[in-house]
Amino acid sequence: MTDADAERHRLKMAKRKAVQDAEVASKTISEKGLLIVNTGPGKGKSTAAFGLVVRALGHGWKVGVVQFGKGGWESGERRVLEGFPGVSWHTLGEGFTWETQDRARDVAAAESAWAKAMALMEDPAIRLLVLDELNIALRYEHLPLLDVVETLKTRRSDLTVVVTGRNAKAKLIEAADCVTEMTAVKHHFAAGVKAQAGIEF
């Protein structure tokens, strides 16, 4: 790279930085608990929530996790995070609804998980709450959608809540601050690869 090229690059990047700085300065809300929804058929909905747990712990936050849909699973993330000081972990789902084959049991499990979620929302020490696979419980109407959304909307203003699971309901998306659709451009399951420890659980 010649000196002229280097200088051209410097000028271009200086302009880019000015644009970037103006954009950052245009944002006026500096601290706000968010309602975050991770949905879609792609990989990364729950792992992104657990990545956020790690991030929050690194800033000294206390974190709550309620799992609505993974009762039977002894996952790697649970093993690591459950024992962390500052994490209140609750795996209360009974597993996939086609495993239990008992709707009354599914509803009871979802209700007990939601009761725990509401208790954690009341705990002022908690700054981040992950409601893992809550979307599944809402989709199968194991919980009353409007009540759940209203409770999430009227939570304390400094509490960030992350809801995961496919097929997020429109009412929840409407109430959320940040919604990410994890789109599967390519998935190894389609190529015949099984779910693996360390990758899928």
Of residues 154-193, which lie at the interface with its own copies (CB under 8 A)? 160, 173, 176-189, 191-193
Q: Tell me which residues in 41-60 interact with its own copies (CB under 8 A).
A: 42-59
Q: Tell me which residues in 132-151 interact with its own copies (CB under 8 A).
A: none
Distance CA 201, CA 198 (A): 6
Give the residue with the Cβ less far from its own copies, 9 or 150. 9
Question: What does each C-alpha distance from 7 to 14, 20, 104, 124, 149 come to in angstroms?
Answer: 10, 20, 69, 52, 53
The reply to whether 108 sits near its own copies by the rule CB under 8 A is no
Residue 136 in contact with residue 163, Cβ under 8 Å? no
Report which of 124, 59, 121, 57 is spatially closest to residue 90, judged by C-alpha positions. Answer: 121
Q: Tell me which residues in 22-41 interact with its own copies (CB under 8 A).
A: 24, 26-32, 34, 36, 38, 40
Give the residue with the Cβ less far from its own copies, 6 or 118. 6
The amino acid at 64: G
Give the residue with the Cβ less far from its own copies, 45 or 116. 45
